Amino acid sequence: MIKVLIVEDDPMVAEINKSYLRAVKGFECAGVAKNTTEAMEWIKKGEIELVLLDIFMPGNNGIDLLVDIRKEDQCVDAIVISAASDIQNIKSVLRLGVVDYLIKPFEFERFSSALKNYKNEYELISQQKVMVQDELDNQLLRQNKLMEQCESLPKGLTRETLQIVVENIIEGNKKPFTTAMLAEEIGVSRVSTRKYLKFLTEIEMVSVNLHYKKTGRPIHMYEVNYEKTGLITPYLKADLS
């Protein structure tokens, strides 16, 4: 049985993860830690083999814990389960060696797939002292695919149009703007423009607020988070800096 530590500060979410874990053969929940301090205490006991890790927690966050794990050379793997969907956090934890990344909310099938893939790799490595090239390539290919997924665009979006949208709102040093205003300036339909703005909002490069008028429906007003413009770089044809 692979012993798992759940690191999650929300008791309800921790219970859901425990119930999911029980439904996948070959895994045992050894404990639950509500912060990184408790998590490291568990890990230092040397019994934990896999950590299901949230990023956003009181005090030090999940990335801090991963850094500490690597610094202290603890032999433990990690799968991140977090609402954090911005590219900066995702790439940071992948570079710290997590074996998978699940964005909340997720379906049980995705959770099960992550654990089964990990179990297959765990058993493969445990059963032999050396690896042939094909086996190693398969594992490296899976990790590379995770990185590529972080930089892929949602269906229906293109890098070329995204480049036009981003250049317009950044170089124009825009004040709050609407979908209609941007669509007119870049010559793209409002429906398409709205999709690009939705994506930019999801990665937190753009924020959106409702502007209420005296009459009629409220208007969605968008504004660039200039301190986070670097988040868009992996998705573009060229660096905007």
Reported as a single tens digit per residue, the pLDDT across 80-130 is 998 877 777 787 888 888 988 988 888 898 899 899 989 988 887 666 666
Residues 106, 27 share a domain: yes
Looking at residue 138, its pLDDT comes to 58
- DSSP E strands in 126-240: the ranges are 206-211, 219-224
pTM comes to 0.57
φ, ψ dihedrals at 23, nearest 5°: -85, -5
Looking at residue 195, its pLDDT comes to 93
Reported as a single tens digit per residue, the pLDDT across 18-36 is 999 999 999 999 999 999 9
* Cis status of the peptide bond prior to 218, with omega within 30 of 0: no
Report in angstroms the alpha-carbon separations of 232 from 7, 19, 139, 162, 177.
Answer: 29, 36, 28, 9, 19
pLDDT tens for the chain, residues 1 to 241:
999 999 999 999 999 999 999 999 999 999 999 999 999 999 999 999 999 999 888 888 898 999 999 888 898 999 999 887 777 778 788 888 898 898 888 889 889 989 998 998 888 766 666 655 665 555 544 555 555 555 567 778 888 899 899 989 887 666 889 999 999 999 999 999 999 999 898 877 899 998 887 777 788 999 998 877 776 776 775 444 4
The type of residue at 140 is: L
CATH number where 212 lies: 1.10.10.10
Domain that holds residue 184: 159-235
Residues 217, 98 share a domain: no
* Chain centroid, CA 197 distance in Å: 19
What is the rounded distance in angstroms from the CA atom of residue 208 to the CA atom of residue 198? 9
Close Cβ partners of 86 (under 8 Å, ≥ 6 residues apart): 203, 204, 228, 231
Residues 203, 108 share a domain: no
Residues 128, 179 share a domain: no
Instruction: Confirm whether 61 is domain-assigned.
Output: yes
Alpha helices in 23-81 (DSSP H): 36-44, 62-71
Q: Which of 127, 150, 173 is the last residue of a domain?
A: 150
